[in-house]
Structure 1
Amino acid sequence: MKALVLEDDELVGELVESIVAGLSGVQQVTLARSLTEAKRYLAEDTYGLYLVDWELPDGSGLELVKLIRRSDSVVPVVVVSGRSDRESVIKAAHYGISGYITKPLDIELLHQRLTDLIPSQGVESASVHEFMAKSSNSVVQLPTEVDPGEIIELIGRADTLSASELAERWREQIGLTARILDVANSSSFRRTGQPVESLRVAIGSIGVSMALNQALALALDVTAKLTRPELKTVADQYQEISLRVAREANQIALRIGKASTMYRSAGVLSRLGEMAVLKVLNQFDAAGGTLAEAEIEQCVARWSEEYGNRLKVHWKFPLGLRELIGAVHFLSPDNHREGPIIMRAAALIAENRQGENECQRLLRQLGLNATELAKEAPSDAV
């Protein structure tokens, strides 16, 4: 199912996108920031769910609702508005809407309302590879083990939390790190033109409250919990690999006197392609698709690079961060830039390949050797 979200407030739109992308059966979310843009999307495609902001700079969202209802009287249409008075709710209801949600958003309420509106859907694709191909252009939220109860408790004391505290708490959460960097870069580029490359700076950019709301949206994403044991086992393996890379990159950066947060983020995100593939495989399996155990390994090998590259672009990762992530997997011998060298060396050490010629050469370029790195290194702030 495709969903269309019309919301001119950038951070609110990103938040709604996170919630909708986590609904069972939703494979693609299109985010429009103006009535004009939404009308164009509506003319070009058909959607199975609409979330429409009422008040927009170039008109009323109810105008879009009217257009939708001309051709489809049953598709779920939810109006999101800062108007909470009875007269406004009655006016919107006359347009045949399916639901009305007021701002500021209650994340749990919105998630539950949308869940109730969307019927369960089976798998339309005949094979897992067809499903992977169709899903490759969709918004994919990575598997996450964020606990909703923990996030709700943090929201209750948001006024006392700092960006540094949240970054320290979440620094090994791959899916959450990826999403917050995505949101921060989306808003940061429009305001300052400067990329955001670390979790702490990203949280500071969008604010603690919005970061917590994004975390709650991911925590409520039931499709992000890998339910098939084989998929969970493989995901745990890739998460452990990425965290080892992050720790090694952190240690190398500190040894040569570099701020390590960006390198740690690149390490945490270094297996996002594999994690995205496992998330989509979990959706396929949960929807009743036939998935043999051998196909898991085949799909990871076949689709991880494509998914990873698409996500790094879709999530608006800065070019510097994308280059660091790419260096984990391959680095040309004629690339002498310090950042990629740090990441490639960290990846080799994480795989216990520090004795190989490539790793020794990279460490020499950094003025280090494997023996030095075996010594205890101080920790740094996120």
Structure 2
Amino acid sequence: MRVLILEDDHWIADLLKQIVLSLRPSAEIVCLGSVAEALADWQQQPSDLVISDWNLPDGEGTRLLKQVRQHNREVPLVMITGRTDRSSVVEVRALGISAFISKPFQASRVAASLEKLLPAAATPVARAVSDEDFLAYLEQLPADQLDMPLGKGIRDRLVQSFKGEQLSLRELAEDWRHDPALNARLLSVANSSAYNGAGRPCISLLEALQKLGAATSLNLAMGLALRQSSALEHPLLRSLADEHLEACERLAETSIALARQCSLDPAPFHSAALLHRMGEFAVLYLAQAWQTRGHSLSEEQLLLALGQFSSPFAIAMKARWQLPMALRELIGACYALPNNSVKREAVLMRLAACEQDPTADSKDQARLRRLAGLT
């Protein structure tokens, strides 16, 4: 089964992809961002379902749907649009649109609509598991495959919401403020050109929620929850994730207290503390995905991977997710201060990290306290 998604908003495309995979786990999903690419893809290999946005950077998605209908009158077509007026619906009536998805949409409603249109799931074919090495796999992994796991409780509540149980955004968001993956995803989207333009950078979860709104925030969270390896199931992975999360929370408490002593906004310190182990969380997420696919993974390999890849993964994720520079500097200060750094915020973050490190030099801590004006 093959599904073609034409949507230039990467985040919406990913959510639609995860919704389809939650219904048909073995489906092949192709996500494209321009009409020209989609037309070329259809001509090369037709799909069993086509989902298209109406407005794309290089024209209207109806161009693709017209091309599909010239060759096939049976393939279900789904149109994504912000247009809800009758004239727009009449305009594409001749194309035999199977379903309209109005923006902003609810993931559960989209799933119910697609369930009726997707072909029946084929019997899964057992695949041979290679003896590929986990470290070698991580070595060649592209940056767009890097992500972090959700806390299991948060993931379970989101899936309950996806299946129809009504949960308010306020109920969900209270848990979100402690989850690195959700903080990173919402901050990344809120600071992207699609949602922020040239506006003031968002550096806290609250700012991101206010920028994106309830519907978009919930959809982004749902996209994370629907991924196959969104929650860590292996006991060792969960144990290590808990250790890193506890370290993040301890650092957050210390840095927030120091920020308040200096009459600084504590929100950026909370965000930086929560995200300063993003590289470690990425390795654990990929380890879960590796095991889900049937590969074996020893504790020795996992610990080697954490030591070797956590730092480069964190650097790649901060760049790809376009986190604000002020937030990147605070995250970096958790590990070291640049020689020329005189920013009080960075000094406080470094001081908080040293106070959490039992091996830290007391003289260095005293120096940092003087620099921060806390003597």
- TM-score bracket, normalised by the shorter chain, equals 0.7 to 0.9
The CA distance in 2 between the partners of 1:107 and 1:171, in whole Å, is 22
Question: Which of the numbers 255, 262, 265 marks the counterpart of 2:268?
Answer: 262
d(CA) in 1 for partners of 2:319 and 2:197? 19
SS of the counterpart of 2:191? helix
Separation (CA, whole Å) in 1 of partners of 2:100 and 2:17? 14
User: Cα distance 1:285–1:18, how it changes in 2: closer, same or farther (>3 A)?
Assistant: same
- 2:324 alignment partner in structure 1: 318
Alignment of 1:35-54 (within 5 A): 35-36=35-36, 52-54=51-53
Could you list the runs of 5+ residues in structure 1 that have no partner in the other structure?
A: 94-98, 370-382
Q: Distance in 1 between matches of 2:141 and 2:131?
A: 11
Once the 2 structures are TM-superposed, how far is the Cα of residue 312 of structure 1 from its aligned partner?
0.9
* 1:14 corresponding residue in structure 2: 11
Distance of aligned partners of 1:357 and 1:129 in 2 relative to their CA distance in 1, 3 Å threshold? same
The answer as to whether partners of 2:65 and 2:95 remain within 8 angstroms in 1 is: no
Indicate the larger mover: 179-188 or 144-153. 144-153
What code does the residue aligned with 2:258 have?
A: I
User: Superposition RMSD on alpha carbons, in Å?
Assistant: 4.2
Contact 2:35–2:60 (8 Å) recurs in 1: yes
Q: Deviations over 1:287-322 (max 9, x none)?
A: 011211211111111111121111111111011111
Who is 1:378 aligned against?
A: none
User: What is residue 252 of structure 1 aligned with on the other side?
Assistant: 258
Do the aligned residues in 2 keep the contact of 1:167 with 1:199 (CA within 8 Å)?
A: no
Q: For structure 2, which runs of at least 5 residues remain unmatched after alignment?
A: none
1:341 counterpart = 2:347: yes
Match of 1:91 in 2: 95
**Partner residue in 2 for 1:243:** 249
Q: Contact (CA 8 Å) 1:141, 1:224: kept in 2 or not?
A: no
Letter matched to residue 176 of structure 1:
L
Q: What is the CA–CA distance in structure 2 between the aligned matches of 1:19 and 1:323, rounded to whole Å?
A: 34
What pairs with 1:181-260 in structure 2 (closer than 5 Å)?
181-187=187-193, 190-260=196-266
Q: Which amino acid aligns with 1:59?
A: G
Give runs of aligned pairs for residues 1-382 of structure 1, distance below 5 A: 5-8=5-8, 10=9, 13-18=10-15, 20=17, 23=21, 32=33, 34-36=34-36, 52-57=51-56, 58-64=58-64, 79-82=78-81, 91=95, 102-104=101-103, 105-108=105-108, 110=110, 113=114, 126-145=132-151, 146=154, 147-148=157-158, 157=168, 168-187=174-193, 190-353=196-359, 356-368=362-374
Structure 1 residue 67: deviation in Å?
7.5
Shift of 1:195: 1.5
Name the SS of the counterpart of 2:283 in structure 1.
Answer: helix
Q: Which moved more, 1:129-138 or 1:250-259?
A: 129-138
The percentage of counterpart residues that share the same residue type is 26
Deviates more, 1:223-232 or 1:334-343: 334-343
Whether the 8 Å contact between 1:246 and 1:264 is mirrored in structure 2 is: yes
SS of corresponding position for 2:294 = coil
Query: What amino acid does structure 2 have at the position aligned with 1:14?
Result: W
**1:102 aligned counterpart, secondary structure:** strand
Cα 1:29–1:366 change in 2 (3 A) is farther
Cα pair 1:80 1:100 within 8 Å, conserved: yes
Q: Determine if contact 1:274/1:304 at 8 Å carries over to the other structure.
A: yes
Ranked by relative contact order (alpha carbons within 8 Å, sequence separation 6 or more), the top structure is 1
Query: Residues 51 and 340 of structure 1: is their aligned pair in 2 closer, same or farther, counting only changes over 3 Å?
Result: farther
TM-score in terms of structure 2 length = 0.76
Amino acid of the residue matched to residue 6 of structure 2? Answer: L
Asked whether the equivalents of residues 186 and 205 of structure 2 are also in contact (C-alpha less than 8 Å), the reply is yes
Deviations 1:257-306 (A, max 9, x none): 10110111010111111101110111011101121121111111111112
Query: Structure 2 counterpart of 1:184, which letter?
Result: A
Query: Could you list the per-position Cα deviations for residues 330-369 of structure 1 after superposition, in whole angstroms to 9, with x for gaps in the alignment?
Result: 2234422212212211112223356533222212211225
